[in-house]
Structure 1
Amino acid sequence: CSQHSAPQMPARPRTGPPAAASSMFWKFDLHTTSHMEQLLEREDVTLHELMEEEDVLQECKAQNRRLLLFLSQDHCMQELVSLITEEPPADLEEKLRFKFPNIACELLTSDVGMINDKLGGDEALLEKLYHFLEKEPPLNPLLASFFSKTIGNLIARKTEQVISFLRKKHSFISLVLTHIDASAMMDLLLRLISCVEPAPLRQEVLNWLNDERLIQRLTELIHTGRDEERQSNASQTLCDIIRLSRDQANQLAEAAEPDPLLAVLESQENVSALLKSMFEADRTDVSVVNGTQVLLTLLESRRTGLEGLMDLCSQGSECAYSVSSSVLRALEPHLKDFQQLLLDPPKKSAILTTVGVLEQPLGNARLQVARLVAALLQTNDGAICQELCQLSIMDKLLDLFFKYTWNNFLHFQVELCVASILNHSAHGTLPPASQQNHEDPPPKAGPQDPPHSPLFQQCRLMQRILDAWEENDKIQVEGGARRGYMGHLTRIANTVVQNLEKVPVQSQIRDLIKELPEDCRGRWETFVGETLRETNRKNTVDLVSTHNLHSSSEDDDMESPFPNDLSIQQAFSDYQIQQMTANFVDQFGFNDEEFSEHDENINATFDRIAEINFNVEADDSSASAAAFEACCKERIQQFDDCEDEEDIWEDKEINYAKQEEAEPEVAAAAAATTVAQGVESVESQSRCFPSNSSSSLRQPVCTASILTVCVGPGWTADFGEVDVSGSSSSWGSSEPSTADTNDTGWANFTEFQPFCRYG
């Protein structure tokens, strides 16, 4: 290239762009046309060709006008609707059969105004959509989901047009319920209830659905003779309607019209019809479970679970629940049917579990009964509690509790039942214990009398707790596994003990305990005073531990050479926590917001750490600080600066054979370095090393880390005098033996004392 000179360019004026450069720019045209635009420019382009493009959906959502004009044509809209409502050819490859129906559904539900207007305003297209419901069951689940999503989008975007169209179809609800085995139909019904705005139009829709007897027809589907999928979806739909209606009722003004669907659901007539369907003829596990799910939803409170129950009961039984009385009145005569389920459940085959073969499983039906009883007891309704007592349902549940050792779902529900009885008893009146005996059935309780006494007499709660606990201890002593209900049993026992301290029931329970046999009373007192207390202690987690932290398990057996003076530990602990915490928070100033987004503030945390200024200030007015200083002055002698100073950084020959005593300046330098680095807090105890024979490497006998920290802009430490000579230190520790180290030439690390640090 160097042999050929570049051609001379002709002179050109300095103003204006170069002609050659301008031509080269237009030669390499940077303006690109997408393949989608090229297709749309063709007059013979087809819908399938456009749907083959990967960016067709993005272009549609970006409202590419040429694409939207093409898609909104009549023949294109008809083809899109056909794709989501008609079965694709069976000869296509499986992964390609529903490719175009899926894309068609995404285009129709892309929430673009032009497509919504076309689809919602064209009755012919709506008729084509509606025709999908007229097909014979079962529907293709995927096509049903495409149909439901498309109609649901129109209900939300073109509400008036679509609702008006559907109300003209008298068979609409019947067809939807015919296909209720497809979950997409359940979603369609819920959209009609929850996605209609404004409020007056929504009320019209609710009245229309109520006139069509939607709730009654769904309830009839929960019947012994129905298939499982249909029953399950009908039950789930009713549960969702209850929750949606209650949520919307809470959000609307008090003057709003009541929800007719919720009113029917909570009516005594409808609940009775549901219970009749559940227990009519040969009851099945499916009908019982699905029906009980609806009942549990009707009995739902705003706060559930054991902790929520405790909070509610502490405020009084009247605040716990606000359940419709019609639901409870309908349930009351059918409680005997649930009792019979506990005694004679639907037959279940044996199952293999991780703990062996279970010949007679508990079954979902009995578990749902336990959940229902727990929910009913939480209502604290007098008539319900009376009926439960007469049927001895709690006794049956406790039998199942101890029989099914590993079913924690059941254990939790029984625990809830016991907690409900005891906690509601603390806010009500109880019948005298003298009116009870072991043979006679429990007396009828009043409207506010929970089944308290039968829990201790008929159900023998205390004896069961003691027997189960002793049996578990025996099994564990023999090498067996701890029973699966022991955690729940511990909490039940604690609930009983806690209620002994509540005034309204204290005397009642104590009278019941006095009626127990003498040996049982003694076992209970010993259990509460020793066994339960020790169990609670083991189950308690210490958030802050004052124990020494060791670097290895070998230090566990070592004893500290310092006196175990609790006053020093307590004074230092209070002083350290108060001063160090206050200075750390004040100077460092972290808050929750700085940790909310780590990606944005990745360096902020480290920048703040660089600015930390550890400054421990002693407050003379603080009792903890004064006690700390007094203990230090009493126990520790001041350091004396050694006249013969030595450079600790000077290179020395290291010999591991022997060691000798350290001079004070080494201890002072080591302590100063520790403080300057900010690694360890001020400590009330020292680090100790063994004193051995002479060596070029000097080791301190006792390095005291008690420092006098002065208030100022930085760290300043005043090291006093301490006597490090001789065979013993001022702490009274004797010189350790050096026999092993003299024989082997190595340090004896087993005689090192542990580093005493506070976490």
Structure 2
Amino acid sequence: MFWRMTGLSAASPVDTILDKENFTLEELLDEDEIIQECKALNTRLINFLRDKSQVEQLLRYIVENVPEDSEKKRSFKFPFIACEIFTCEIDIILRTLVEDVELMDLLFSFVKPDHPHSTLLAGYFSKVVICLMLRKTAPLMNYVQEHPDIVVQLVDLIGITSIMEVLMRLIGADETIYSNFADTLQWLESTDVLEMIVDKFSSSDSPEVHANAAEILSAVTRCAPPALAAKICSPSFVGRLFRHALEESRSKSVLVHSLSVCISLLDPKRLASASYQAFKSNLSHGTLVTASPETVDGMLESLGALLKLLDITSSENVLPTTYGCLRPPLGKHRLKIVEFISVLLTIGSEIAEKELISQSAIKHCIDLFFQKSLHIFWCCRYPYNNFLHHHVENIIVSCLEVKRNQLIDHVLNDCGLVGKVLAAEKKSSLSVDSNGPTLPSEGKEPPRIGNMGHITRIANKLIQLTNSSSMIQNHLQENSEWSEWQTGVLVRRNEVENVYHWACGRPTSLHDRGRDSDDDDYRDRDYDVAALANNLSQAFRYGIYSNDDIEEAQGSHERDDEDVYFDDESAEVVISSLRLGDDQDR
């Protein structure tokens, strides 16, 4: 659809309707060009829509449910068009809404307990309210402040994602800059909104409620008004969070999402990312939450109870998989506990490290990676759970890279890391022992366990750290079996797996980089990956490639942003393959 220009096109169908003596709002909403005319600031149309009666009717389309047998236009088209009219951000229409208390009451009647809450209409309601937050911040916040029940009602509907987004922006846990931000949000500091949100872990059994509550609390840890930021990292708040998580009657979803909030308090990578975004956006109102020693102490008080949940000996569940049966499956809650321990080791707290050692938390996690069978060998209890392998590898590396000998000694001697690595190499296929933790499928060859790549990386990390740690160096030198395996197996494996020696056309600028280059800054590269990636995406967008390629690219855009994010490494792989093609042509 093209923009109409005066003198170059026929009269708009909207103007034709407006020329009638008697016309209705429904006739205008049924016209396909009404949104285009609103954006073009059609004076006659805007003067009609700005009237209170018309704004009221537009709001009713958004907040009022209709019977299932209603006409499709009334159920779907009119609510959509009404929402789009408001989000065109026409100031005079928005002013009519925010300056009239009755209209605001009608808008927020959608969140009342006795009102039906259609997911479709909730999305339209959310878009309108967020538009008002951005364009009419002060009047909207003043209205909400005068009606404190609105915050309570929004919290009660937190399981609806659209409502959760409204609440998140309302309490300032968003990077968007509002005009007069500090003044309009100051009143929230005296409310119990965070307590109401965290109590949803206890009052609801819905996983959607738990996930959305955790999303808001995690957002508060990244960007929130100072008072809310200080409250969420207080020991009392952390204790309240763990009390809900460890209730025996609660579902494991509560534990998983509660630990997600704690991880967001501890994870330095996430905080660093938020800090960069805050700097980039020049946010002056947000406070990045850093875990204080008191916060960590509050988490450590519940460590013993968490470790009890890691125990899998009493579970009799069996999960059939394509490669065999898991007895029992790990479960999301145990995986989240291991992730929490992994993140806890990254903050550099000596108190946390001592507590993890004394309660054998590190040993317990490593035992999930290397699980002893009835024989002299070690086998992996969860041989294909890459999430578990990733977190345990991070735990081991964090312990080895720290400068405190107590932690290194614990991993090498108490946990027997080197012996477990060597034993796993001897039994690198899935055990056929009927009493083993994981049984291969009948009639098939036992597959190779899936954590051998992680084991190889751990072994290489041990060798790398001998240059900086005499304790690791002495421990490895004293083990003759390790020396034989290193020279006879590991060295040859590294040569085979070293992609920089493969004749596959990798960029020459990468040849001089070390194997542990995942964390190197992209600025070390001699080409602009972001620009090349953008060129590639533009090529797909404008049809340079074949129709099949275009359809595939369009299909990928329908997925979540997390799935299709085109990062530097992805661009690097594509660039490498293109250079490989060039080499073959030559």
* 1:324-361 Cα shifts (integer Å, max 9, x gaps): 22221101111101111111599695433222333411
What is the distance in 1 between the residues matched to 2:8 and 2:206?
Answer: 64
Q: What residue in structure 2 maps to residue 90 of structure 1? A: 68
Pairs within 5 Å for 1:732-751: none
Whether 2:359 is the aligned partner of 1:391: answer yes
Alignment CA distance shift 1:300-1:145 (3 Å): same
CA gap of 1:541–1:227, structure 2 versus 1, over 3 A, is closer
User: Which residue of the other structure, out of 51, 65, 85, is the alignment partner of 2:29?
Assistant: 51
Q: How far apart, in 2, do the equivalents of 1:596 and 1:195 lie?
A: 25
Residues 621-679 of structure 1: CA deviation (Å, up to 9, x unaligned): xxxxxxxxxxxxxxxxxxxxxxxxxxxxxxxxxxxxxxxxxxxxxxxxxxxxxxxxxxx
| SS at structure 2 position matched to 1:100 | helix
User: What are the within-5 Å matches in structure 2 for residues 338-737 of structure 1?
Assistant: 338-344=306-312, 349-401=317-369, 402-424=380-402, 427-428=403-404, 430=405, 449=406, 451-472=407-428, 480-502=446-468, 505-506=469-470, 508-513=471-476, 521-542=479-500, 545=503
> Per residue, is there more helix in 1 or in 2?
2
In 2, Cα distance between the equivalents of 1:241 and 1:546? Answer: 46
Matched length = 474
Equivalence for 1:335 = 303
For 1:202 and 1:379, the matched residues in 2 are separated by: 32
251, 257, 262: which is aligned to 2:229? 262
CA–CA separation in structure 1 for the residues paired with 2:426 and 2:533: 49
CA distance in 2, matches of 1:71, 1:346: 67
Residues in 2 aligned to 1:546 and 1:341: alpha-carbon distance in whole angstroms: 47
Deviations 1:357-411 (A, max 9, x none): 3341100001001110111111121111111111112222122112100000000
* Deviations 1:524-555 (CA, angstroms, capped at 9, x unpaired): 111112211111111102367599xxxxxxxx
Match of 1:221 in 2: 200
CA offset at residue 304 of structure 1? 9.3
Match of 2:373 in 1: none
- Cα pair 2:265 2:290 within 8 Å, conserved: no
C-alpha distance in structure 1 between counterparts of 2:293 and 2:353, whole Å? 14
Distance change (3 Å), C-alpha of 1:165 and 1:112: same
Contact 1:299 1:375 (8 Å CA) reproduced = yes
Letter in 2 for 1:336: G
Displacement of 1:509 in angstroms is 2.6
Q: 1:365 to 1:147 in 2, by over 3 A?
A: same
Counterpart in 2 of 1:611?
A: none
CA 1:484–1:31 in structure 2 vs 1: closer, same or farther (change >3 Å)? closer
User: Closer, same or farther in 2 for the Cα pair 1:533/1:349, shift >3 Å?
Assistant: same
For 1:70-469, what aligned pairs fall within 5 Å after superposition? 70-92=48-70, 97-136=75-114, 139-192=117-170, 193=172, 194=174, 201-223=180-202, 226-245=205-224, 259-302=226-269, 323-344=291-312, 349-401=317-369, 402-424=380-402, 427-428=403-404, 430=405, 449=406, 451-469=407-425
What one-letter code is carried by the residue in structure 2 that aligns with 1:484? Answer: G
State the AA in 2 paired with 1:188: V
Q: Give the SS at the match of 1:357.
A: strand
Separation in 2, partners of 1:195, 1:417: 32
Instruction: Give me the whole-angstrom Cα distance separating, in 1, the residues matched to 2:76 and 2:257.
Output: 33
Length-normalised TM-score, structure 1: 0.58
Distance 2:334 2:528 in 1: 50
CA distance in 2, matches of 1:543, 1:534: 13
Structure-2 separation of matches of 1:80 and 1:120: 14
1:139 deviates by 1.5
Deviation of 1:322 after TM superposition, in Å, equals 5.9
In 1, the alpha carbon distance for the partners of 2:110 and 2:336 equals 37
- Render the CA deviation track for 1:459-501: whole Å, top value 9, x for unaligned: 111111011111117989x964321000101001111111122
Q: Which amino acid aligns with 1:190?
A: M
Q: What letter is aligned with 1:378?
A: T
State how far apart, in whole Å, the 1-side matches of 2:187 and 2:124 are: 25
Alpha-carbon contact 1:137-1:178 (below 8 Å) kept? no
Give how far 1:123 is off. Answer: 2.0
Q: Matches of 1:95 and 1:531 in 2, distance apart?
A: 70
Counterpart of 1:170 in structure 2: which amino acid? P
* TM-score relative to the length of structure 2: 0.74
Alpha-carbon distance in 2 for matches of 1:594, 1:345: 52
Unaligned segments of structure 2, at least 5 residues: 1-6, 273-288, 370-379, 433-443, 506-526, 540-583
Counterparts of 2:461 and 2:354 in 1: how far apart (Å)?
A: 22
CA contact (8 A) 2:13 2:33 kept: no
- Name whichever of 322-331 and 129-138 sits farther off: 129-138
For the aligned residue pairs, the C-alpha RMSD in angstroms reads: 3.2
Change (3 A) 1:348 1:96: farther
